[in-house]
A = this chain, B = another copy of it.
Amino acid sequence: MSAAKTKKTATNETALAEQLRAVSLRPTQQRMALADLLFGRGNSHITAEALYSDALTAGVNVSLATVYNALHTFTAKGLLREITIDSTRSYFDTNVDEHHHFYFEKSGRLEDIDHNRVKMTRLPDAPEGLSVSRIDVVIRVDG
């Protein structure tokens, strides 16, 4: 890998743009760049600050406010899932399928747990008139 400075291929670009249009979001430069950083890699748990810094490193001209804006917009559209475990920061998870998490207390890192590795055979009903929107299981480990 010497040339090709991670220049998005036309295909990739189109795919991303389509993904955004599919949820009625305009594929603007910054959104495309952020989407590429978020979805162009493996699934990950990223903070706004971390994505911002990735963007700067990648030479994307974007402000932190725009990063927050994009993350929240993507979350509202179901492209991301927001996870709060530590009050000092929110993570955005590119894995929006049903799944759970390991939380490493020392490093503050999150790791996915496929949902079929956890089985709950007894659960309380939602309080009268309400419905469950999500069940989060977080296994905290001391590492």
Residues of B with C-beta under 8 A to A102? 124, 126-127
- Bound complex: CA of A135 vs CA of B136, how far in Å? 10
> How many protomers of this protein does the assembly include?
2
- Interface stretch, picked from A2-10, A50-58, A59-67, A115-123, is A115-123
Those of A97-143 within 8 Å (CB) of chain B:
102, 104-105, 111, 113, 117-124, 126-127, 129-143
A132, chain B: closest CB distance, angstroms = 6
Q: Tell whether, in the assembled complex, residue B127 and residue A118 are in contact, meaning their CB atoms are under 8 Å apart.
A: no
Contacts A86-B84, A124-B118 known; A138 to B135 CB distance under 8 Å? yes
A binding-site residues for B, Cβ under 8 Å? 84-87, 89-90, 102, 104-105, 111, 113, 117-124, 126-127, 129-143
